[in-house]
Amino acid sequence: MDPFARYLPALEATMRRAIPDTEPAALYGMLRYHLGWVDTTFRPAADKAGKRLRPIFLLLACEAQGGDWEQALPAAAAIELLHNFTLIHDDIEDRDRTRRGRPTLWAVWGEAQAINAGDALFALAYRSLFNLQTTGVSPETIVRAVNLYTDAILHITEGQHLDLSFEAEQQVDEATYLTMIRGKTAALLGLACELGGALAGAAESRLAALREFGVELGLAFQMQDDWLGLWGNAEQTGKPVGSDLRNRKKTLPILHGMAHSAEFQALLTGDVPLDDALVSKGLALLEEAGSQDYTRTQALAHHQAALAALARSEGTGEAQAALYALAEQLIGRTT
């Protein structure tokens, strides 16, 4: 089964209905622009819109646990809208002027309007979640979904807080890094998988396994992303080789290198801008310290833990097989 072919048309339609077609038209036009549906003049466009991975995992988890995936569509849309809200605010906080090959919201309309647009998308994400009542989900299940959703948002903001604080820290230990990515990256994928199971009425033991599957896969995903940020193919990632090193980001291989190479630590904590020559030197020092292999090994360990948790979820059918296949694809991705 191709889950994207199966779910995406209905998911996209649900998401489009979640964005009001009312005044102020510019506000909702900005949201449609961020989601890849229109250009800066609000005319229809077909730009990159993200992979929609998180809602796909939710719908697969729901179906694998015997639920009706169409009934879960408002929650899937809510997950993706929430993810995009975080991206709008992340771009402002990180000063990123491009995303998916286009100017970011704040780069086009300014910080104040981008913050406001992000806030609107946050509210619309909650509204979409409450639309579960229109698909026949029980009030008790909706209350549980809202609680899970709110808890995950807190974890995400906690992770972002740590990530931002790293910029002012010369040293960050690996345990703190793991806490950060567990919140910022893994919490939303864990929510998607657990919420899908909850909407199917899965047993508590299965929900715990689904949450662990999503969290462990999210950790592996971020570590793979950390690896790509240093050694990925520039044509495939859209970033120059060593971009995370040039920007002095506190990613797993960089933290490992700082802990195992005094020369690399001196390079990274110095005041000299990292030009191409210094980036090349830094990458060589990381390889000498074993940081590249360490990152791959850690990503693989979390990936294997994710697959073990998925097995414990006891899902069935094509949807469960698709969860396995999608998890395998993520660890080997090149973008």
Please give the chain's pLDDT, 335 residues, in tens.
899 999 999 999 999 999 999 999 999 999 999 999 999 999 999 877 788 999 999 999 999 999 999 999 999 999 999 999 999 999 999 888 988 889 999 999 999 999 999 999 999 999 999 999 999 999 999 999 999 999 999 999 999 999 999 988 888 999 999 999 999 999 999 999 999 999 999 999 999 999 999 999 999 999 999 999 898 876 666 566 788 888 888 999 999 999 999 999 999 888 888 899 999 999 999 999 999 999 999 999 999 999 999 999 999 999 999 999 999 998 776 66
The whole-angstrom separation of Cα 319 and Cα 62 is: 9
The whole-angstrom separation of Cα 92 and Cα 114 is: 8
- As a whole number of Å, the end-to-end CA separation of the chain is 23
User: Which pLDDT belongs to residue 291?
Assistant: 97
Task: Count CB atoms within 10 A of the CB of residue 292.
Answer: 18
User: Which pLDDT belongs to residue 234?
Assistant: 66
The residue behind tokens 């709008």 is 88
CA distances from residue 83 to 14, 86, 307 in whole angstroms, order as listed: 15, 5, 24
User: Where are the chain's structural domains?
Assistant: 172-335
User: Which pLDDT belongs to residue 320?
Assistant: 98
Read off the pTM. 0.94
The whole-angstrom separation of Cα 21 and Cα 330 is: 35
Asked whether the beta carbons of 315 and 61 are under 8 A apart, the reply is yes
Tell me which DSSP letter residue 20 carries.
-
The residue behind tokens 């102020």 is 24
Q: Give SS3 for 44.
A: strand
Nearest Cα neighbor of 132 from 120, 146, 122, 150 is: 146
Q: From 1.10.600.10, 3.10.20.90, 3.20.20.150, 3.40.50.720, which CATH number describes the 172-335 domain?
A: 1.10.600.10
User: Which pLDDT belongs to residue 226?
Assistant: 93
Q: Give SS3 for 102.
A: strand
User: Which pLDDT belongs to residue 244?
Assistant: 86
Q: Which is it for strands 102-103 and 98-99: parallel, antiparallel or unpaired?
A: antiparallel
